[in-house]
Copies of this chain bind each other. A is one copy, B any other.
Protein backbone atom coordinates (compact mmCIF):
# COMPACT_ATOMS: atom_id res chain seq x y z
CA UNK A 1 0.00 0.00 0.00
CA UNK A 2 1.05 3.55 -0.64
CA UNK A 3 2.05 5.75 2.25
CA UNK A 4 0.21 8.96 2.99
CA UNK A 5 3.11 11.00 1.67
CA UNK A 6 3.12 9.16 -1.62
CA UNK A 7 -0.58 9.81 -2.04
CA UNK A 8 -0.02 13.49 -1.33
CA UNK A 9 2.78 13.66 -3.85
CA UNK A 10 0.50 12.06 -6.43
CA UNK A 11 -2.31 14.44 -5.56
CA UNK A 12 -0.01 17.41 -5.99
CA UNK A 13 1.22 16.22 -9.37
CA UNK A 14 -2.26 15.36 -10.62
CA UNK A 15 -3.47 18.81 -9.67
CA UNK A 16 -0.47 20.90 -10.56
CA UNK A 17 0.76 19.26 -13.78
CA UNK A 18 -2.09 20.60 -15.96
CA UNK A 19 -1.69 24.06 -14.44
CA UNK A 20 2.00 24.27 -15.25
CA UNK A 21 1.31 22.87 -18.69
CA UNK A 22 -1.42 25.39 -19.43
CA UNK A 23 0.01 28.52 -17.81
CA UNK A 24 3.73 27.97 -18.19
CA UNK A 25 6.39 28.15 -15.53
CA UNK A 26 6.56 31.87 -14.75
CA UNK A 27 2.80 32.37 -14.94
CA UNK A 28 2.19 29.67 -12.33
CA UNK A 29 2.69 30.90 -8.79
CA UNK A 30 3.13 28.93 -5.61
CA UNK A 31 -0.19 30.30 -4.39
CA UNK A 32 -1.84 28.99 -7.55
CA UNK A 33 -0.45 25.66 -6.47
CA UNK A 34 -1.51 25.80 -2.84
CA UNK A 35 -4.97 27.04 -3.81
CA UNK A 36 -5.51 24.31 -6.39
CA UNK A 37 -4.26 21.48 -4.20
CA UNK A 38 -5.83 22.73 -0.99
CA UNK A 39 -2.47 22.20 0.65
CA UNK A 40 -0.08 24.64 2.27
CA UNK A 41 3.45 25.56 1.39
CA UNK A 42 4.71 23.18 4.05
CA UNK A 43 3.22 20.23 2.21
CA UNK A 44 4.43 21.36 -1.18
CA UNK A 45 7.99 22.16 -0.13
CA UNK A 46 8.07 19.01 1.98
CA UNK A 47 7.52 16.97 -1.17
CA UNK A 48 9.42 19.03 -3.73
CA UNK A 49 12.67 20.89 -3.39
CA UNK A 50 11.44 24.04 -5.14
CA UNK A 51 9.23 25.38 -7.88
CA UNK A 52 11.52 24.20 -10.66
CA UNK A 53 11.68 20.64 -9.34
CA UNK A 54 7.90 20.60 -9.13
CA UNK A 55 7.64 21.84 -12.70
CA UNK A 56 9.98 19.14 -13.94
CA UNK A 57 8.13 16.41 -12.05
CA UNK A 58 4.88 17.79 -13.43
CA UNK A 59 6.17 17.61 -16.99
CA UNK A 60 7.39 14.05 -16.52
CA UNK A 61 4.10 13.08 -14.92
CA UNK A 62 2.07 14.38 -17.86
CA UNK A 63 4.38 12.89 -20.47
CA UNK A 64 4.29 9.49 -18.80
CA UNK A 65 0.50 9.51 -18.93
CA UNK A 66 0.57 10.51 -22.58
CA UNK A 67 3.23 8.01 -23.63
CA UNK A 68 1.44 5.17 -21.88
CA UNK A 69 -1.75 6.01 -23.70
CA UNK A 70 -0.02 6.05 -27.09
CA UNK A 71 1.80 2.79 -26.35
CA UNK A 72 -1.46 1.10 -25.41
CA UNK A 73 -3.06 2.36 -28.60
CA UNK A 74 -0.21 1.01 -30.71
CA UNK A 75 -0.74 -2.46 -29.27
CA UNK A 76 -3.95 -2.71 -31.28
CA UNK A 77 -1.87 -4.07 -34.14
CA UNK A 78 1.35 -6.01 -34.58
CA UNK A 79 1.98 -4.80 -38.11
CA UNK A 80 4.51 -1.93 -38.26
CA UNK A 81 2.67 -0.15 -41.03
CA UNK A 82 -0.60 -0.52 -39.19
CA UNK A 83 1.09 0.92 -36.11
CA UNK A 84 1.92 4.01 -38.14
CA UNK A 85 -1.72 4.35 -39.09
CA UNK A 86 -2.56 3.94 -35.41
CA UNK A 87 -0.35 6.93 -34.66
CA UNK A 88 -2.33 9.18 -37.00
CA UNK A 89 -5.47 7.62 -35.58
CA UNK A 90 -4.36 8.64 -32.12
CA UNK A 91 -3.58 12.22 -33.07
CA UNK A 92 -6.90 12.68 -34.82
CA UNK A 93 -8.42 12.76 -31.35
CA UNK A 94 -5.49 14.43 -29.68
CA UNK A 95 -7.08 17.87 -29.26
CA UNK A 96 -9.82 16.63 -26.96
CA UNK A 97 -7.53 14.28 -25.08
CA UNK A 98 -4.63 16.68 -24.56
CA UNK A 99 -6.95 19.40 -23.29
CA UNK A 100 -7.35 17.28 -20.17
CA UNK A 101 -3.59 17.48 -19.73
CA UNK A 102 -3.64 21.26 -20.03
CA UNK A 103 -2.46 21.11 -23.63
CA UNK A 104 0.35 19.30 -25.41
CA UNK A 105 3.21 19.14 -22.90
CA UNK A 106 5.92 18.84 -25.54
CA UNK A 107 4.73 21.94 -27.38
CA UNK A 108 3.85 24.05 -24.35
CA UNK A 109 6.82 23.30 -22.18
CA UNK A 110 9.14 23.18 -25.19
CA UNK A 111 8.29 26.76 -26.13
CA UNK A 112 7.92 27.96 -22.55
CA UNK A 113 11.25 26.59 -21.38
CA UNK A 114 13.23 27.80 -24.38
CA UNK A 115 15.75 30.39 -23.21
CA UNK A 116 14.09 30.34 -19.80
CA UNK A 117 14.59 27.09 -17.97
CA UNK A 118 17.52 24.98 -19.09
CA UNK A 119 16.68 21.93 -16.99
CA UNK A 120 13.10 21.83 -18.13
CA UNK A 121 14.11 22.23 -21.76
CA UNK A 122 16.57 19.37 -21.42
CA UNK A 123 13.73 17.12 -20.31
CA UNK A 124 11.65 18.12 -23.29
CA UNK A 125 14.50 17.32 -25.65
CA UNK A 126 14.91 13.88 -24.12
CA UNK A 127 11.22 13.12 -24.59
CA UNK A 128 11.24 14.26 -28.21
CA UNK A 129 14.24 12.05 -28.91
CA UNK A 130 12.52 9.14 -27.22
CA UNK A 131 9.37 9.60 -29.30
CA UNK A 132 11.37 9.82 -32.52
CA UNK A 133 13.40 6.73 -31.61
CA UNK A 134 10.21 4.78 -31.11
CA UNK A 135 8.72 5.86 -34.44
CA UNK A 136 12.00 5.16 -36.21
CA UNK A 137 12.06 1.74 -34.61
CA UNK A 138 8.59 0.96 -35.96
CA UNK A 139 9.68 2.01 -39.45
CA UNK A 140 12.80 -0.15 -39.21
CA UNK A 141 10.73 -3.12 -38.19
CA UNK A 142 8.48 -2.41 -41.15
CA UNK A 143 11.51 -2.55 -43.42
CA UNK A 144 12.69 -5.82 -41.86
CA UNK A 145 9.25 -7.39 -42.27
CA UNK A 146 9.07 -6.12 -45.84
CA UNK A 147 6.06 -3.86 -45.29
CA UNK A 148 8.07 -0.69 -45.81
CA UNK A 149 10.47 0.15 -48.63
CA UNK A 150 14.12 -0.35 -47.76
CA UNK A 151 14.87 2.99 -49.43
CA UNK A 152 13.40 4.83 -46.46
CA UNK A 153 15.68 6.54 -43.95
CA UNK A 154 13.84 5.57 -40.76
CA UNK A 155 15.16 8.30 -38.48
CA UNK A 156 14.72 11.05 -41.05
CA UNK A 157 11.17 9.94 -41.70
CA UNK A 158 10.38 9.72 -37.99
CA UNK A 159 11.56 13.30 -37.56
CA UNK A 160 9.44 14.40 -40.49
CA UNK A 161 6.33 12.83 -39.04
CA UNK A 162 7.05 14.28 -35.61
CA UNK A 163 7.59 17.74 -37.10
CA UNK A 164 4.31 17.62 -39.00
CA UNK A 165 2.42 16.40 -35.96
CA UNK A 166 3.81 19.11 -33.70
CA UNK A 167 3.01 21.72 -36.32
CA UNK A 168 -0.55 20.48 -36.51
CA UNK A 169 -0.89 20.49 -32.72
CA UNK A 170 0.37 24.06 -32.56
CA UNK A 171 -1.98 25.25 -35.29
CA UNK A 172 -5.00 23.46 -33.86
CA UNK A 173 -4.45 24.99 -30.44
CA UNK A 174 -3.60 28.48 -31.60
CA UNK A 175 -6.46 28.68 -34.10
CA UNK A 176 -8.75 26.53 -31.97
CA UNK A 177 -9.52 24.51 -35.09
CA UNK A 178 -9.24 20.76 -35.38
CA UNK A 179 -8.91 21.02 -39.16
CA UNK A 180 -5.15 21.21 -38.86
CA UNK A 181 -4.81 18.00 -36.87
CA UNK A 182 -7.32 16.11 -39.02
CA UNK A 183 -5.91 17.30 -42.33
CA UNK A 184 -2.31 16.68 -41.33
CA UNK A 185 -3.18 13.13 -40.27
CA UNK A 186 -4.83 12.57 -43.66
CA UNK A 187 -1.70 13.91 -45.30
CA UNK A 188 0.51 11.58 -43.29
CA UNK A 189 -1.70 8.62 -44.13
CA UNK A 190 -1.21 9.48 -47.79
CA UNK A 191 2.53 9.66 -47.28
CA UNK A 192 2.52 6.23 -45.69
CA UNK A 193 0.61 4.86 -48.65
CA UNK A 194 2.58 6.58 -51.37
CA UNK A 195 6.10 6.87 -50.03
CA UNK A 196 6.54 4.27 -47.31
CA UNK A 197 4.75 1.17 -48.51
CA UNK A 198 7.04 -1.42 -50.06
Contact = CB atoms under 8 A, between A and B. Distances in A.
Interface stretch (A34-42, A46-54, A81-89, A161-169): A161-169
A128 B174 contact: yes
A171 B107 CA distance: 9
A187 to B, nearest CB: 6
A159 B163 CA distance: 15
A26 B159 CA distance: 32
B27 A174 contact: no
Contacts of A27: 24-27, 116
A170 B166 contact: yes
| A106, A121, A170, A187 pick with most chain B CB within 10 angstroms | A170
Interface residues of A, number: 40
Nearest to A23: B116
A24 to B, nearest CB: 6
A115 to B, nearest CB: 5
Copies of this chain assembled into the complex: 2
B174 A121 contact: yes
Contact of A183 (B159, B170, B171): B159
What does DSSP make chain A's interface, helix, strand, loop or mixed? helix
Nearest to A115: B22
Contacts of A25: 27
Contact of A167 (B103, B115, B128, B165): B165
29 contacts: A23-B116, A24-B26, A24-B112, A27-B116, A106-B174, A107-B170, A108-B114, A110-B174, A111-B112, A111-B170, A111-B174, A114-B173, A114-B174, A121-B174, A125-B175, A128-B171, A128-B175, A156-B183, A163-B167, A163-B168, A163-B171, A163-B180, A163-B183, A163-B184, A165-B167, A166-B170, A166-B171, A167-B168, A170-B170
